[in-house]
Amino acid sequence: MPGAFAPLALAVRGGVAQLNTFGVQHGRMNAQNRHGDPVDPVPFLVCTATAVMLLFSVGPLYGLAYGLPVWAGLTVATAGTITVAVVSYHRLVWTAPPPSVHIAPELRFQRLIYIGIGFAVLLVAVSAPLAL
């Protein structure tokens, strides 16, 4: 399958590396919000992939630490991954504003701080019973 990766091939032309984004430019990865406006699917993909990585690497270990069998830890990790995927799709694709709407950097930074605090509280809530 030599042509399978052709849409994202890296070409060097005139000493400058250029990424061929044929697939993105010609509608193969067109994500739309609920109003039909095109939105960038990359934040959703990054959020979901990070959740898969974290939940499947740490979830079964926490399950074993709490006395659950491995299959139960994997089940919880799968349920968490599905939940994160659904919520992130809703927030980052379905209800995303169109590209013409600009969100103030202060508001974006404030949301990032809230997410960080929530993640820290979640880690402490899961880890505190193990330390006691």
The neighbouring-strand residues paired with 31 are 39
pLDDT band of 14, cuts 50, 70, 90 = low
Residue spans of the domains in the chain: they are: 1-30, 33-101, 102-132
Q: What is the pLDDT of residue 7?
A: 46
Q: What is the pLDDT of residues 84-132, one digit of tens each?
A: 999 999 999 999 888 778 888 899 899 899 999 999 998 898 888 778 7
Q: Which string of b and e fits 13-30 if b means at least 16 CB within 10 Å? A: eeeeeeeeeeebeeeeee
Q: Sort strands 10-13 and 16-19 into parallel, antiparallel or unpaired.
A: antiparallel
Give all strands (DSSP E) within the chain, no chain letters: 10-13, 16-19, 31-32, 38-39
Q: What values do phi and psi take at 81, rounded to 5?
A: -65, -45
Q: What is the pLDDT of residue 28?
A: 58
Taking the CA atoms of residue 100, residue 50, residue 82 and residue 57 in that order, the dihedral angle to the nearest 10 degrees is: 180
Q: What is the pLDDT of residues 28-64, one digit of tens each?
A: 568 888 888 888 889 999 999 999 999 999 889 888 9
Q: What is the pLDDT of residue 15?
A: 53
The neighbouring-strand residues paired with 19 are 10
Residue percentage of the chain with pLDDT more than 70:
78
- Per-residue pLDDT, averaged over 2-8, amounts to 46
> Any idea what DSSP says for residue 18?
E
Q: What is the pLDDT of residue 132?
A: 75
Contacts of 92 (CB under 8 A, 6+ apart): 39, 43, 44, 47
Q: What is the pLDDT of residue 13?
A: 55
- Per-residue pLDDT, averaged over 5-25, amounts to 49
